[in-house]
Structure 1
């Protein structure tokens, strides 16, 4: 199967980033959107489905906790209640604490603006990752998720891939090589492509099924 057909099928069926699905404009480099994305990364780091993590992220926004200042002023019991109602019950107590601490640290260390973290790191990817991991609840997995999509605006991160992406690429017969993978699409499409790989892998897609789906779409 031609590789172009595989890439087209991936992007057509699964090429929406999680941040975009949440209505976040990461390319706009908007502080509130970067903050909400970091909260989403914390929630998605837990051994829980992406669907439930996304639901919990939306629930926080529905309560108006869309900035570090607003979330920092919220009560632990209220955060726990919102997480529980969103289906995050197994981790609600710990995560309610972590979210509050995350918001407070951003206020204390970066005046409520994650872009200041980038400048403190002098736009060095390794330092940015180190600073991200200083937030309790953001480990290697959370930092990977953040960088995977933030590279569309924090250009120094590009091209960024991670173990989860490589596993998804391997399942579709693509090389586990960042230089190779990043050359398959335009730089601004790379986060979409990486998310498409992961979504397709979770859906159990194969290279053949994606190529056939793409061809069927062209024939319609």
Structure 2
């Protein structure tokens, strides 16, 4: 199987972004971008991606879809929503950080991550630094946000990040951003990157592709 065939099969089987899994209809507007920031924080801790997605869904179902609503929610309401999503190991500290991060976004960027984007431009390094100003967002969280947002911030694309490169290596694809870019073809870069992450996180992704060869 050629590298291009591997990519085609991978994306067909696993090319769904984590934002989509969390019910985020991602577009370049304040609400969905904030929801992605929340998901990125949840997914950056040492917890399964599926649990982070479930916790994000629970927060959004409880109405915490904007920095205003997140700030207005009580700490206990945030803890309860996180617990409902199965996010129990880090629920109390994360509830605090979510409130603090919402306040920072409102104070510095008027609740709109597009303002952060305008300030940083399309420099991946500048965007990563700005994102890491939010409590709980470190390099891994910035990676997640940039990997998922590239579909609506095309100046960021293509963006893979460390975990996607691990997935490429597991699949026998080149673990090099430039080489992977040449393999994207007609595929959505965010979907391709998410599929690579799934290959890094789940051995059965690579095994399934080999079995279908």
TM bucket normalised to smaller: over 0.9
Query: How many Å separate the matches in 2 of 1:176 and 1:200?
Result: 13
TM-superposed CA distance for 1:208, in Å, is 6.6
Query: How many Å separate the matches in 2 of 1:136 and 1:207?
Result: 34
Residue 6 of structure 1 contacts residue 207 of structure 1 at CA under 8 Å; is this kept in 2?
Answer: no
TM-superposed CA distance for 1:188, in Å, is 5.9
What are the Cα deviations for residues 39-88 of structure 1, in whole angstroms up to 9, with x where unaligned?
A: 00000011011111111000000011111111111100111121122211
The Cα RMSD (Å) is 1.7
TM-superposed CA distance for 1:99, in Å, is 0.5
Residue 173 of structure 1 contacts residue 207 of structure 1 at CA under 8 Å; is this kept in 2?
Answer: no
1:4 aligns with 4
TM-superposed CA distance for 1:122, in Å, is 3.3
TM-superposed CA distance for 1:18, in Å, is 0.5
Query: How many Å separate the matches in 2 of 1:24 and 1:59?
Result: 12
What are the Cα deviations for residues 19-42 of structure 1, in whole angstroms up to 9, with x where unaligned?
A: 12223232x212100000000000
Give secondary structure in 1 for the equivalent of 2:101. helix
> Aligned pair count?
213
Residue 121 of structure 1 contacts residue 127 of structure 1 at CA under 8 Å; is this kept in 2?
Answer: yes
Q: Which moved more, 1:201-210 or 1:143-152?
A: 201-210
Distance 1:209 1:93, change over 3 A: closer
Residue 67 of structure 2 contacts residue 105 of structure 2 at CA under 8 Å; is this kept in 1?
Answer: yes
TM-superposed CA distance for 1:129, in Å, is 1.1
Residue 15 of structure 1 contacts residue 193 of structure 1 at CA under 8 Å; is this kept in 2?
Answer: yes
Q: Which has the higher contact order (CA 8 A, sep 6+)?
A: 1
Distance 1:123 1:8, change over 3 A: closer
Structure 1: which 5+ runs fail to align? 216-220
Query: How many Å separate the matches in 1 of 2:160 and 2:99?
Result: 29
Query: How many Å separate the matches in 2 of 1:185 and 1:196?
Result: 12
Are 2:84 and 1:85 aligned? yes
Give secondary structure in 2 for the equivalent of 1:89. coil
Give secondary structure in 2 for the equivalent of 1:43. helix
Distance 1:8 1:210, change over 3 A: same
Q: Which moved more, 1:186-195 or 1:98-107?
A: 186-195
2:17 aligns with 17
TM-score, length of structure 2 as denominator length: 0.93
Structure 2: which 5+ runs fail to align? none
